[in-house]
Structure 1
Amino acid sequence: MTSTTEPASPPSEQRSEPPQEGSGAQQSSGAQRARLRALAVLCAMQLMIILDGTVVTVALPTIQSDLGFSQAGLAWVMNSYLIAFAGLLLLAGRIGDLIGSKRVFLAGLALFTAASLLCGVATGAEVLIAGRFLQGVGGALASAVILGMIVGLFPAPGEQARAMGVYGFTSASGASIGLILGGVITQTVGWHWSFLINVPIGLVSLALAVRLLAPQRGLGLGKGADVLGAVLVTAGLSLGVYTIVQTAEPTVELPRTLLLAAAAVLLLAAFVLRQARAAQPLLSLHIFRKRQVTAANVVVVFLFAAGFGFQFMTALYLQRVLGFDSLQTGLAFLPAPLLGAVMSLFVAPRLTVRFGSRALLLAGLAAFLVALLVMSQAPADGSYLLNVAPVLALMGAGIGVGIPAAIMLAMSGAEPGDAGLASGLNNTAQQAGAAVGTAVLATLAASQSAVRVSEGVAEAAALRDGYSAAFVAAAGFVLAALVLTATLLRPSKK
C-alpha cells in the first residue's frame, strides 16, 4: 500500500511482502491479491465498528436486567461509545497523516479488541461503560484512517469505485446485519458475546494487518502537533455529541440543552480561530475551501441522519406496532443488506465508471426518498410483506449506490497529504449524521405519539402516527441532500 502522504509507487513496491519471482503479469496479480486482502482487513474493522452499535442496541434490555442499570444509566452504554468515537475522529485522522495511517490503524484495532474483551467480561455497570468508552477511542483511531488507506490502495477510478462499493456495503448494511446478529446472539448465547465475538475477529485482523499493510512515514508531528487545537476540537465534538444524545432522556431540560449546545459551538469556534492563526495547525482550513469536499460531507450528514434514523424507527414500528420480537425484527431487515450488497458490490462500480459518482448519488437518494415516503404511510395494522419488506429492499438499493458515491465524491476532492484528515472528516460526518438523525427522529416520534395519545387515539395508532412523522422528517433530510448534490456537487475531474 502507498503512503497517503507520498506519491503513489508501483504496486510491487507497495507490498509489505518480499517481491515474488516471475513475469510482470504474475507480480501484478500477486500485488492485486495483496491489495484485496488488505482491503478485507480494513473492511473487517469497519464492520466490527458498525456491527457493535446495533448488536448492542438489541442486547440493551438484557444488559439492563443482568447488570442492574437504571433507565437513565442504560443510555450511557451507547452514549459513552458515541462521545469518545465522534469526539476523536478528526484528531485521529490528522494523527494518521502525521505519523502514518498504519500505526494509527493498528493502535485503534488493538485497543478496540482489548476493550471488547473488557466489556464482555464486565460484571458491573461502571466497568461496561468504561469499556464502551475505550471501544469508542479505539474505533475512532482505526476508522478515521480507513478511507484514506483505501484511496491509497486503489488510486485508479474503476478499481477505487469497486473498493468503495465494498466499503459502502460494509457501512450501509452493517447496521442491518447487526440487528440480525444481535437477536441471534442475545437469545442463544447471551449478551456478553455481543462484545466477545469481536475478540477473535480483532486478533486475526490485527495479525493480518501487521503483515499486509505497508508502513508509511507520515508528515511528521512537527507539521501539525497543535496540542491546544486537539483539546478544543475533541472537547467541542464530544460535548456536541453528548448534547445531542442526552435529548432523548425524558427528564432533559431545554435551558440546560441550549447551554450545552452553546458551549459546544463556542469550543468549536475557538478551535477554528486557533487553526486560522496557528503556525502548524492540526486542521488546515484550506480543505473547507474545496467545494466538493465540504458539500459532499454535508450530504453524508443528511444521508446518515436519514439512514440510521430510518432503521431505528423501522425497528420500533416492527416491535411496538406489529409485535415482532428481537429475533424477528433482526431477520425482517434482511432485504436491506441483501439489496445493498447487490448494488454496492456489483452494480454501483460498473455504473460509477460509466455515469460518474454524482449521477449514482442522485439516483440512490431518489430511491431512498421514495422508500421513506412510502414507509410513512404504513398503517397500524400493516403487513410486513406488503408495507415493510418492499420499502427495506428499495432503501437497501438506494443506500447501496448512494453511500459509496457520496464517499468517493468527498475523498476525491482532497489532496494526498490530507487523505487521513479527509477520512476523519468524512467519518465525523457519518457519526454526526447518525447521532443527530436518531436523536431528532426519536424525539419527534415520541412527542407526536404523546400528543395523539392525549387526544384519545389508541396506543398502536398513536405510535404509528409518531413513526410516520419521523419518516417524513427523514425524507426531508434526503431531499436536502438531493438539492445539495444537484446544485453544488459536480462530477470529479480526476
Structure 2
Amino acid sequence: MSSSARSVNGASAPDANRWRALVFIALAQLMVVLDATIVNIALPSAQQDLGISDGNRQWVVTAYALAFGGLLLFGGRIADLWGRKRAFVIGLTGFAAASALGGAAQSGAMMFGARALQGVFGALLAPAALSLLAVMFTDAKERAKAFGIYGAIAGGGGAVGLILGGFLTEYLDWRWTFFVNVPFAIVAAAGAYFVIREPEGGRNRSPLDIPGVILSTLGLVSLVYGFTRAESDGWGDSVTIGLFIAAAVLLVSFVVTEARVKAPLLPLRVVTDRNRGGIYLSLGLAIIAMFGTFLFLTYYLQVVKGYSPVKTGFAFLPMVAGMITGSTQIGTRLMTRVPARLLMGPGFLVAGVGMFLFAQLEIGSSYTTLVLPALLLLGLGMGTAFMPAMSLATHGVQPRDAGVASAMVNTSQQVGGAIGTALLNTIASSATTSYIKDHIATAATKPQQQLVQLQGMVHGYASAIWVAVGILVLAALVAVTFVNAGRPGAGESSAMMDGIEGEVPVPVVAH
C-alpha cells in the first residue's frame, strides 16, 4: 500500500516540513503573479530604451501570456511525470535565468524572447506549486489554512507588483523589474530543494500524449492570441476570426483525442467532475471581470487623477488587505464548516458590489468615498471565493492527476485574463469613441475638448465595468449551481469521488 493510501487511513503522519515548504511555494507563486503586473509599469521606459515600436509593444506582454497559457497543461503533466519537486525547482531556475536575460535585454527581439522563456518556465512552475500543496497538506483544517495563504498571494500579488514596479521604475531602472525575480527564485529553489519531501506513490509514469500536447498547446495559443489581436485589430479582423476558428477546431480535436487515447494529457474525468468544472468556469469568469478592471483603474488614477506610478500602486493596497482578510480569515475559518458554494457564491457577489461601485466612476470621484470602499469589497469578495476554489480544484483528485488538475486552475486564470483584457478594453474603447463623437461638437475651446476626452475615457471604463458586474453575478450563479461538494472537513464528498472508485485520492482526513 502506498504512503498516500496509508495517510487516508490516518496511519502515517503528515510531512513535518510542510509549513516550511509552504513558505517557499508561496514565494514562488508571488514571483509569478508579480511578474504579470510589474512589467506593465516598466513598459513605457523599456519601450523607449530598446526602441520598440508602438505596434510591437504588446509583444512584451503577449509573448509571456502565449507561452504561459499555451503550455500550462503540458507543464502540469510534466510535473506529474517527473515529480512535482523536480518540476518546481527546474521551473524556478529557468524563470530566474529568463528574468536575468530580460533585465539585460539590448533589443526588442531579446526582450520578447526572454518574456516567452519566462512563460515557458512559469508554465512548469505554477502547476507544480499548486499540486505540491495538494499532496502535502492532507488534514482538512491545515489544508484550509495553506490554501488561504496561497489564495491571498495569488489574488493580491498583482497589486503588490504595481507598487514594486512603480518603485523600481521610478527610483532605480526598469531593468530591475526583471532582476528582482532572480533573488526570489534562488531563495525559493534552494528552500524547496532542501525542505520539500514529496509523498511517494503520486507519480504518473504513463507515456506522454504527444497529439494531446500539440493540439492543446496550439489551441490555447490560438485562443489567447485571438483575444490579444481582437483588442489591437478589432473583432472583425480576418486574422482574428481565423485564430478563433483555428482555436475551436484544435480544442474540439483535443477533447476527441483525449476521450480515445490510453494515457491522455488531460484525463476528461478531471474536468467533467461537476465540482471541478464549476470551479474552473467560475474562476475564469471572475478573472475576466478583474483583469480589465485592474487596467482601467490604473489608467484612471494615473491619467485622470494624475497619480504617480508609486502612488497608484499604494492606492491598490486596500484591495490586497481585503483579499488577505477574505482568504485567511473568512475563507479559512468557514471552509471546514460550510459548503464551498456558500463561500464562493456570496464571495463573487460581494466582489460584484465592489465592481458596481466602480461603475459609478466620474472624473471628480473621490478616492476615499468611492474607490477605497470598492477596492475593499472587491478584495474581500475575491479572497473569500478564491480560497475554497483553489483548494477544491485539487480536492479528491487522484495523485497522478494532481499536476494536470492544478494546471487547469492556472489555465482558466490565464485564458480568463486574456479574454478579460481584450473584451473589456474593446467595450471601453467603443463607448469612449461614441461619447467623444456625440459631445465634442459642443466643446469650443481646447480645455473643453480635453475635458470631453477625459469624460469619454471615464464613460468608457464605466460601460465596461457594468459588463464586469454582470460577469461576476454569472460567476456566482455558476458556483452556486455546479459546486455541490460538502464541507471539505466532513470527509470526501460523494460527488467528488464520482468516476474514480478504486483509485487512491489525494487524502483529506476527517477529524
Taking structure 2 as the reference length, what is the TM-score of the superposition? Answer: 0.89
Residue identity in the other structure for 1:359: L
Residue identity in the other structure for 2:208: A
Q: 1:403 maps to which residue?
A: 386
Q: 2:247 maps to which residue?
A: 264
Q: 2:88 maps to which residue?
A: 105
1:481 aligns with 2:481: no
Q: 1:230 maps to which residue?
A: 213
Matches within 5 A, 1:250-261: 250=233, 254-261=237-244
1:298 aligns with 2:278: no
In 2, Cα distance between equivalents of 1:71 and 1:192: 19
In 2, Cα distance between equivalents of 1:133 and 1:255: 25
Q: Is 1:113–1:203's contact at 8 Å kept on the other side of the alignment?
A: yes
Gaps of 5+ in 2: 441-451, 493-511
Q: Is 1:371–1:391's contact at 8 Å kept on the other side of the alignment?
A: yes
Deviates more, 1:96-105 or 1:295-304: 96-105
Q: 2:401 maps to which residue?
A: 418
Task: Pick one of 306, 311, 318 that aligns with 1:323.
Answer: 306
Query: Helix, strand or coil for the counterpart of 1:455?
Result: helix
Residue identity in the other structure for 1:197: V
C-alpha displacement at 1:59, in angstroms? 0.7
Over 3 Å counting, the alpha-carbon distance change for 1:258 and 1:391 in structure 2 is same
Task: Pick one of 413, 437, 445 that aligns with 1:454.
Answer: 437
Matches within 5 A, 1:180-259: 180-215=163-198, 223-250=206-233, 254-259=237-242
Residue identity in the other structure for 1:272: V
In 2, Cα distance between equivalents of 1:70 and 1:309: 23
Q: 2:127 maps to which residue?
A: 144
Residue identity in the other structure for 1:455: D
Q: Is 2:235–2:241's contact at 8 Å kept on the other side of the alignment?
A: no
Deviates more, 1:450-459 or 1:79-88: 450-459
Over 3 Å counting, the alpha-carbon distance change for 1:406 and 1:132 in structure 2 is same
Query: Helix, strand or coil for the counterpart of 1:283?
Result: coil
Matches within 5 A, 1:364-383: 364-383=347-366
Taking structure 1 as the reference length, what is the TM-score of the superposition? Answer: 0.92
Residue identity in the other structure for 1:464: V
Q: 1:134 maps to which residue?
A: 117
Over 3 Å counting, the alpha-carbon distance change for 1:274 and 1:3 in structure 2 is farther
Residue identity in the other structure for 2:93: A
1:68 aligns with 2:51: yes
In 1, Cα distance between equivalents of 2:430 and 2:71: 32
C-alpha displacement at 1:413, in angstroms? 4.6
Residue identity in the other structure for 1:92: G
Over 3 Å counting, the alpha-carbon distance change for 1:191 and 1:151 in structure 2 is same
Residue identity in the other structure for 1:436: I
Please list the CA deviations of residues 185-235 of structure 1 after superposition, one character each: whole Å capped at 9, or x if unmatched.
Answer: 100111000000111111111111111111466766751411122111111
C-alpha displacement at 1:182, in angstroms? 0.8
Task: Pick one of 376, 391, 399 that aligns with 2:374.
Answer: 391
Residue identity in the other structure for 2:395: S
Q: Is 1:225–1:282's contact at 8 Å kept on the other side of the alignment?
A: yes
Q: Is 2:4–2:200's contact at 8 Å kept on the other side of the alignment?
A: no
Matches within 5 A, 1:60-99: 60-99=43-82
Task: Pick one of 282, 289, 297 that aligns with 2:265.
Answer: 282
C-alpha displacement at 1:244, in angstroms? 1.1
Gaps of 5+ in 1: 16-30
Over 3 Å counting, the alpha-carbon distance change for 1:14 and 1:157 in structure 2 is closer
In 1, Cα distance between equivalents of 2:138 and 2:471: 31
Q: Is 1:8–1:152's contact at 8 Å kept on the other side of the alignment?
A: no
1:444 aligns with 2:427: yes
C-alpha displacement at 1:369, in angstroms? 0.7
C-alpha displacement at 1:160, in angstroms? 0.8
Residue identity in the other structure for 2:472: V
Please list the CA deviations of residues 12-61 of structure 1 after superposition, one character each: whole Å capped at 9, or x if unmatched.
Answer: 8765xxxxxxxxxxxxxxx1xx2111011111111101101111001111
Q: Is 2:102–2:178's contact at 8 Å kept on the other side of the alignment?
A: yes
Over 3 Å counting, the alpha-carbon distance change for 1:448 and 1:466 in structure 2 is same
C-alpha displacement at 1:148, in angstroms? 1.5
Please list the CA deviations of residues 405-453 of structure 1 after superposition, one character each: whole Å capped at 9, or x if unmatched.
Answer: 2222322252333111110111101111111111111111111101111
In 2, Cα distance between equivalents of 1:271 and 1:78: 26
C-alpha displacement at 1:387, in angstroms? 1.7
Please list the CA deviations of residues 329-370 of structure 1 after superposition, one character each: whole Å capped at 9, or x if unmatched.
Answer: 111111111122222223321121222322111221111010
Over 3 Å counting, the alpha-carbon distance change for 1:223 and 1:144 in structure 2 is same
Task: Pick one of 333, 349, 357 that aligns with 1:350.
Answer: 333
Q: 1:18 maps to which residue?
A: none
Q: 1:47 maps to which residue?
A: 30
Over 3 Å counting, the alpha-carbon distance change for 1:245 and 1:4 in structure 2 is farther
Over 3 Å counting, the alpha-carbon distance change for 1:4 and 1:446 in structure 2 is farther
Identity of aligned residues (%): 35
Task: Pick one of 459, 462, 467 that aligns with 2:461.
Answer: 467
